[in-house]
Structure 1
Amino acid sequence: MAITFRKSFRILPGVRLNINRHSWSITTGGRHGPRQTHSSTGRKTTSMDLPGPFGWRRTTRRRDH
């Protein structure tokens, strides 16, 4: 069984700092409407909850030159 670590802190209304073993990220937006997450690894995710059990997510990664 793997050991995991994940912690989330609310730093301002609508802004969260998320920390895990490998990276950290900042999430902006609330529970209703779109959310944007920017990770220290270069990943950007936009997501939104839709009515019922549905959701939408789009993830992009930074390209290293």
Structure 2
Amino acid sequence: MPLTFRKSFRILPGVRLNINRKSWSLTTGGRGGPRRTHSSTGRRTTSMDLPGPFGWRRTTSAGKRPKRR
């Protein structure tokens, strides 16, 4: 079983700092509206919870860092 590390801090209402082993990200937004996440790896995600078992997500990558092999 691999070891994982993930921690999330609430900075301001509606703003979270998420830290894991390889990167960090900043999430804004929340309940009832869209959430936007900007990662240190260049990935940008917009997501929104919809009523019922549905959800919507759109991810774009800026390619700031090369992929590790």
**Contact 2:41/2:63 (8 A) holds in 1:** no
Instruction: Tell me how many residue pairs correspond in the alignment.
Output: 64
Q: Partner residue of 2:53? A: 53
Deviations 1:40-60 (A, max 9, x none): 000000000000011000000
Distance 2:30 2:59 in 1: 18
Q: TM (normalized to structure 1)?
A: 0.94
- The CA RMSD measured in Å over matched residues stands at 0.9
Which segments of 5 or more consecutive residues in structure 2 lack a partner in the other structure? 65-69
Structure 1 residue 31, shift from structure 2 partner = 1.9
Q: Partner residue of 1:18? A: 18
Counterpart residue type for residue 17 of structure 2: L
Q: Partner residue of 1:41? A: 41
Deviations 1:10-55 (A, max 9, x none): 0000000000001000000012110000000000000000000110
Distance 2:38 2:31 in 1: 17
Distance 2:63 2:7 in 1: 27
Taking every aligned residue pair, what percent have the same amino acid on both sides? Answer: 83
Distance 1:21 1:57 in 2: 23
